[in-house]
């Protein structure tokens, strides 16, 4: 088969260490058009993996191919970057730039030199994230959510074939998240989107595929409904706390929702992605979520 | 999605320009930000305010170099802040994922110094037009009764010092990421001035800011060679901002040229001052 059928992202046994900590530990997967969500607690290795895919970090071991090229080769790296959109977890902003100026600056760094077309493109992406009216506002005067949208806008420049988004919905209000889902789902009908998130709702609403990571490894790789299925029979509700549950909490209705090995005769309920995720990554994740 | 389709769509959506055009587009933005930076606008405003007292004061400020020094220091600080902006604002990670390389951004920052240089040259042009050195008259000031300028080349030293300080600001940002870097450079300038003051007369011209009052006038032919020396130093300093491993062939040629120009200027100015 020729290169036309090659997936956009190919990751083979990739490893990355920082001193004694193994951030990514032998991860392998392929990804094509559509949205692949990375779920996992803090320190799971999601951001490191996305940095490797964004060509910002080089892996210590294994092989990565992006858009049919090897980012380890300097002659391949620039062509990859031309077709890549990246929104880092902490993108950083030039506070004295307006939203337009910042995205325009990034557009030049993306080799968009023709001024009029570039400005049209900047206006287009700012419009996509509903920042058209705030384009001449200095970034220091924008709210946290609006700044995230500026960062999202720059990643959409040039309609990238591979879009890498590291916790893009952090700090967005529900309305903005809805708009974000709208934009990303539209893009993903044609392109490859890799996004990391803590929000299981985002995964359920957006992703065709989800990978759950913890301690640098992939614990689950499949469709979101398949992830939810892994918790079937392991989620039940009761009037009081059940000591046999691995995790439990009091719901809004005053009853207790439990996750773990359900006792015989328990009132089983339909599992959600969040239930399955918590079952997979365990107590550490729920502590992280509570802290967050 | 097939790669061929993706490739075609991207090429249709956005024509990727050659590196030079990207660098020039970035230079335009950086030049505008540099020239409107408060570190440059503040001394410029102070000079204008001082000059309101009369054209003589304005003339004095630039003929003795105070005006250029003020703009030069402002350019140094502004260029340093602009060139270190991405590091200070935490955008480096994002920029590293983009096709234009950090070296190209540094080139744009170096070229942006052309904006304050152009302003300084404009001031020098106005000064030269008002003092008319080509008419055979040396520029003398009532406020300081000594000969300060002897010919047209003398007027270029101030603008070149502005460029020198601007380039120094960019190079400093490229190599150092510490708040003590700027004061350290000021201390370095002071030390260099003190050292060259201790040197015999002709060698004092090795100080980029040397003038007829500090280094003494032996021959008016010193200044053209001093300008060559200063231009060489600017090129050499620029090399400090561009140098990266592996040392590219073009950079080797540029470096050799910069060393040659600096050496030629240094030797010839000292010879002219000694004769």
Structure confidence by residue, pLDDT tens digits, A26-73: 999 999 999 999 999 888 999 999 999 999 999 999 999 999 999 999
Other CB atoms within 10 A of residue B87 CB:
14
Query: Which one of A52, A58, A92, A155 makes the best mutation probe of the B interface by having the most chain B beta carbons within 10 Å?
Result: A92
Within chain B, which residues score under 70 in pLDDT? 1-17, 132-150, 213-220
Which two three-digit tokens encode residue B168? 């120094």
Residue B229: phi, psi to the nearest 5? Answer: -60, -45
d(CA B190, CA B202): 19
Q: Which residues, in sequence order, are bridge partners of residue A165?
A: A87, A195
Q: Which of B13, B96, B100 sits opposite A111 (nearest CB)?
A: B100
* A83 interface with B at CB cutoff 8 Å: yes
Q: B174 to chain A nearest CA, in Å? A: 18
**Taking CB atoms and an 8 Å limit, are B94 and A92 in contact across chains?**
yes
Give the pLDDT confidence of A220-230 residue by residue, as tens digits: 999 999 999 99
d(CA A164, CA A212): 17
CA nearest to B226, candidates B241, B240, B212: B212
* B98 interface with A at CB cutoff 8 Å: yes
* A65 interface with B at CB cutoff 8 Å: no
> Taking CB atoms and an 8 Å cutoff, what residues of chain A touch B85?
94
> Taking CB atoms and an 8 Å cutoff, what residues of chain A touch B96?
55-56
**Taking CB atoms and an 8 Å limit, are B29 and A105 in contact across chains?**
yes
Q: A54 to chain B nearest CA, in Å? A: 6
pLDDT at A96: 92
Q: B241 to chain A nearest CA, in Å? A: 19
Question: Do residues A87 and A166 touch, judged by C-beta distance below 8 A?
Answer: yes
pTM for the whole structure: 0.86
CA nearest to B27, candidates B114, B100, B154, B144: B114
Query: Which one of A4, A69, A79, A108 makes the best mutation probe of the B interface by having the most chain B beta carbons within 10 Å?
Result: A108
> Taking CB atoms and an 8 Å cutoff, what residues of chain B touch A123?
none
**Taking CB atoms and an 8 Å limit, are B22 and A5 in contact across chains?**
no
**Taking CB atoms and an 8 Å limit, are B99 and A81 in contact across chains?**
yes
**Taking CB atoms and an 8 Å limit, are B6 and A32 in contact across chains?**
no
Q: Is B9 exposed, middle or buried (0-12, 13-18, 19+ CB in 10 A)?
A: middle
> Taking CB atoms and an 8 Å cutoff, what residues of chain A touch B4?
4
d(CA B216, CA B201): 7
Residues 172-191 of A with CB under 8 A from B: 190-191
Q: Which of B4, B91, B98 sits opposite A110 (nearest CB)?
A: B98
Mean pLDDT in residue range A179-200: 88
Mean of per-residue pLDDT scores for chain A: 90
**Taking CB atoms and an 8 Å limit, are B92 and A117 in contact across chains?**
no
d(CA B90, CA A150): 15
Q: Is the pLDDT of residue A289 over 70?
A: no
Vertex B149 angle, CA B146 and B150, to 5°? 105
Q: B154 to chain A nearest CA, in Å? A: 38
Residues 19-38 of B with CB under 8 A from A: 19, 21-22, 25-26, 29
Complex ipTM more than 0.90, yes or no: no
> Taking CB atoms and an 8 Å cutoff, what residues of chain B touch A191?
1, 6
Which two three-digit tokens encode residue B230? 């200063």
**Taking CB atoms and an 8 Å limit, are A161 and B10 in contact across chains?**
yes
**Taking CB atoms and an 8 Å limit, are A121 and B14 in contact across chains?**
yes
Give the pLDDT confidence of A111-153 residue by residue, as tens digits: 998 999 999 999 999 999 989 999 999 999 999 889 999 999 9
**For B3, nearest residue in chain A (alpha carbons):** A4
Q: Is the pLDDT of residue A19 over 80?
A: yes
Residues 88-147 of A with CB under 8 A from B: 88, 90-95, 101, 104-106, 108-115, 117, 121
């Amino acid at each position: 088969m020729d290169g036309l059928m090659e997936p956009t992202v190919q990751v083979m046994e990739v490893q990355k260490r920082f001193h004694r900590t193994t951030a990514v530990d032998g991860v392998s997967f392929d990804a094509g058009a559509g949205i692949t969500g990375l779920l996992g607690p803090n320190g799971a290795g999601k951001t490191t993996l996305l940095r490797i895919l964004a060509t910002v970090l080089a892996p210590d071991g294994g092989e990565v191919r992006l858009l049919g090229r090897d980012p380890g080769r300097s002659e391949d790296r620039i062509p990859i970057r031309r077709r890549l959109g990246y929104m880092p977890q902490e993108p950083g902003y030039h506070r004295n730039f307006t939203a337009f100026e910042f995205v325009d600056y990034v557009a030049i760094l993306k080799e968009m030199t023709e001024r009029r077309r570039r400005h049209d493109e900047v206006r287009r992406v700012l419009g996509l994230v509903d920042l058209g009216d705030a384009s001449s506002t200095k970034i220091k005067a924008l709210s946290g959510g609006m700044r995230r949208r500026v960062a999202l806008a720059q990643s959409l420049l040039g309609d990238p074939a591979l879009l890498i988004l590291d916790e893009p919905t952090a700090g967005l209000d529900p309305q903005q998240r809805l708009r974000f889902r709208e934009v990303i789902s539209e893009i993903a009908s044609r392109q490859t989107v890799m996004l990391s998130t803590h929000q299981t709702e985002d995964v359920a609403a957006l992703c065709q595929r989800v990978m759950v990571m913890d301690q640098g490894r992939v614990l689950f790789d499949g469709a979101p409904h398949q992830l939810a299925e892994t918790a079937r029979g392991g989620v039940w509700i009761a009037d009081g706390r059940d000591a046999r549950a691995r995790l439990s909490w009091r719901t809004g209705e005053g009853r207790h929702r439990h996750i773990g090995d359900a006792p015989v005769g328990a009132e089983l309920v339909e599992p959600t992605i969040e239930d399955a995720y918590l079952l997979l990554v365990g107590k550490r994740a729920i502590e992280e979520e509570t802290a967050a | 999605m097939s790669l061929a389709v993706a490739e075609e769509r991207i090429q249709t959506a956005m024509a990727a320009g050659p590196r030079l055009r990207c660098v020039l587009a970035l230079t335009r933005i950086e030049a505008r930000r540099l020239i409107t930076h408060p570190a440059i606008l503040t001394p410029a405003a102070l000079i204008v305010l001082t000059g309101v007292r009369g054209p003589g004061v304005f003339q004095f400020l630039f003929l003795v170099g105070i005006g250029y020094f003020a703009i030069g220091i402002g350019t140094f600080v502004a260029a340093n802040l602009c060139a270190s902006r991405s590091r200070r604002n935490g955008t480096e990670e994002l920029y590293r994922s983009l096709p234009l390389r950090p070296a190209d951004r540094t080139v744009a920052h170096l070229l942006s110094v052309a904006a304050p240089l152009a302003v300084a040259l404009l001031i020098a042009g106005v000064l030269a037009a008002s003092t008319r050195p080509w008419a055979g008259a040396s520029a003398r000031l009532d406020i300081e009764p000594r000969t300060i300028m002897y010919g047209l080349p003398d007027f270029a030293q101030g603008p070149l010092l502005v460029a020198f300080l601007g380039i120094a600001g960019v190079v400093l940002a490229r190599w150092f990421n510490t708040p003590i870097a700027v004061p350290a450079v000021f201390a370095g300038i002071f030390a260099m001035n003190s050292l060259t003051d201790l040197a015999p007369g002709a060698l004092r011209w090795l100080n980029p800011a040397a003038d007829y009052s500090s280094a003494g006038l032996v021959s008016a032919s010193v200044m053209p060679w001093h300008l060559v020396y200063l231009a060489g130093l600017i090129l050499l300093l620029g090399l400090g901002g561009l140098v990266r491993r592996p040392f590219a062939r073009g950079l080797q040629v540029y470096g050799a040229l910069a060393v040659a120009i600096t050496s030629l200027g240094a030797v010839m100015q000292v010879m002219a001052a000694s004769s």
